[in-house]
Structure 1
């Protein structure tokens, strides 16, 4: 009778293409994963992987075995997780990735409440402007937008990510507010250059009637970070296009004003990403449910929507 550890080491190594990536996902050492697979091969009397210094590929027998046990293993893990969840409170290290601006502004302030509710969970929260590979890098969850959904990863929508035009009251003093996005062409623009493409980010705005207009700025300031765009606007350097969640605190305090308030650009939803529902550890499920609860309680889906004007 094979142990669960041997079977899981085999399946994760096959799915992720290596012992090292499987080890990170399983919180084990590569040597331990390799040893588990070797024990499984010895017990079965067949070779499951072709091994080389650069690659790990399934043999024909390994392909058949993976196909036969993958779904059964998931069901077994789910049953074990459900029983364990009933017997103990959520616990363990919770590794989450999120953008610095949104994460520090909205998610980090929730930590005292979350820690009080789940004292056995140890948060390990990474604030980074990149799309992480949840499975390969061992993350339990990520919060953001625009992630490519790889196999085994689920996205649960939290709120819209609408982009709006803002400027400081001091910058707009004495100027005629534009009536539509085309009217912003005469204003100084604070724009962002993508580190990935090297291009200036362009936006297409829309209104409730379905009309669309491109945003064309007189580019005065070029930066590569949304937080810098927001700060430059607050300093009175011009008009910028930023996510409404990033602008909201400054709009509420009067440090920024919204231009063309019936227009917005849609950058897709803000979502929480996590691995397969059936394999969700209790610590991850607790975090996902908590975040969804707070978004609804604080009415963030409504407050983050640029379409509300």
Structure 2
């Protein structure tokens, strides 16, 4: 029977088309990965890769073999990890991607409880404004909105991602509040340029009756981070269109006020994204459950909903 190391080396090499990249993901040397794959080929009696100085290419036999074992290897790895760490004691590195603003405000405070419950889990959390490739980059979980559901990835919805208009009380002093999204055209706007597309995002707002209108907020100031938008708005520099989750504390303490209280833009949902496996690793399962439990207890889905008149 083939060893797990040989099969892992083959799968990671096939996914990345590189022994060096597979070695990085497996914390091995390229020579060890190449040796494992060569041993697998010798034991199977077939060539799995066409090798060149630039890249690896799967042979026809290699393609068939990868399709046959891909999902089963995930389940086997998970089963071994759970058994070796003790099924009742989740352990290992928990690699999570989350946005800086949302992650620091709502997920980072869960870390003491996670460590108290599961001391053998070693968090590796990346705070970043981008959509990661969970499988290719080795993430266990990503939290955010708008991720593509590639094959093998599932989403567990936490709360709506609703965009609302906010400004500092000082900025609005002496100004007539907008009564319609189109009125935003006469305000100074704090906009964000997307890291992914390079464009300044334009929003269409809706009300509870389902009426939709463009929000033509001028891009007087452009930044590339929601936290910077929020802070600029608090400085009285203009109006910002931000997710409720990014400004909830400011709305509650009065440093920002909500404009157009009956209008919001729908950016989808804030979700937990993770690999769909028959046997979800224990470390991933307990983290997902803790986040979902917290959102339910603190009613964050309701508090993040821009369609509720109680917000702001």
Instruction: Note whether the superposition's TM-score is higher than 0.5.
Output: yes
1:86-127 deviation per Cα after TM superposition (whole angstroms, max 9, x unaligned): 544111121111111111111111111111111111111111
The SS at the match of 1:233 is helix
Counterpart contact for 1:164–1:258, Cα < 8 Å: yes
- Residues 1:15 and 1:250: Cα distance change in structure 2 (over 3 Å): same
Give distance in 1, aligned partners of 2:218 and 2:4: 61
Deviation at 1:75, TM superposition (A): 4.5
Q: Deviation per CA, 1:234-273, whole angstroms, max 9, x where unpaired?
A: 1111111011001100000001110111110011111112
Contact kept in structure 1, 2:99 and 2:127, CA below 8 Å? yes
* Alpha-carbon separation, structure 2, partners of 1:66 and 1:277: 17
Question: CA separation in 1, counterparts of 2:191 and 2:75?
Answer: 49
Q: Deviations over 1:131-162 (max 9, x none)?
A: 22222222221111222233332222211111
* Distance apart, 1:222 and its partner CA: 2.1
Deviates more, 1:79-88 or 1:16-25: 79-88
Structure-2 change in CA distance of 1:61 and 1:249 (3 Å): same
Q: Which residue of 2 aligns with 1:144?
A: 144
Structure 1 residues 181, 302: closer, same or farther in 2, change over 3 A? Answer: same
Equivalent-residue separation in structure 2 for 1:102 and 1:89 (angstroms): 28
Report the equivalent of 2:200. 200
1:193 Cα deviation from its structure 2 partner: 2.5
Q: Against the structure 1 CA distance between its residues 77 and 219, is the aligned structure 2 distance closer, same or farther, given a 3 Å change threshold?
A: closer
- For 1:254, the equivalent position in structure 2 comes to 254
Map residues 278-293 of structure 1 onto 2, 5 A cutoff: 278-293=278-293
* Corresponding residue for residue 129 of structure 1: 129
- 1:87–1:285 Cα change, 3 Å: closer
- Tell me by how many angstroms 1:78 deviates: 4.8
Q: How big is each residue's C-alpha offset from its partner over 1:189-217, in whole Å with a ceiling of 9 and x where there is no partner?
A: 11222344443211100011110010112
Contact 1:77 1:279 in 2 (8 A): no
After superposition, residues 149-168 of structure 1 pair within 5 angstroms as 149-168=149-168
The answer for the alignment partner of 1:116 in structure 2 is 116
TM-score, normalised by the number of residues in structure 2: 0.91
Aligned to 1:190: 190
Paired residues of 2:18 and 2:56 also in contact (CA < 8 A): yes
What corresponds to 1:67 in structure 2?
A: 67
Q: 1:241 to 1:117 in 2, by over 3 A?
A: same
CA 240–80 in structure 1, closer or farther in 2 if over 3 Å, else same: same
Q: Aligned runs of 1:231-246 on 2, under 5 Å?
A: 231-246=231-246
Are 1:190 and 1:237, in contact at CA under 8 Å, matched by a contact in 2? yes
Distance in 1 (alpha carbons) for counterparts of 2:224 and 2:304: 22
Distance 1:226 1:271, change over 3 A: same
Q: Structure 1 residues 19 and 148, CA, compared in 2 at 3 Å: closer, same or farther?
A: farther
1:1-309 alignment runs, 5 A limit = 1-81=1-81, 83-84=83-84, 87-309=87-309
Range with bigger deviation, 68-77 or 32-41: 68-77
SS in 2 for 1:219: coil
Q: Decide whether the 8 Å contact of 1:22 with 1:136 is kept in 2.
A: no
Quickly say closer, same or farther: Cα 1:169–1:101, change in 2 above 3 A: same
Unaligned ranges ≥5, structure 1: none
- Superimposed CA distance per residue, residues 271-294 of structure 1 (whole angstroms, 9 cap, x where no aligned partner): 112223225321111111111111
Seen in structure 2, the aligned counterparts of structure 1 residues 29 and 140 have a Cα distance that, compared at 3 Å, is farther
Residues in 2 aligned to 1:39 and 1:7: alpha-carbon distance in whole angstroms: 10
What 5-or-longer segments of structure 2 have no aligned partner? none
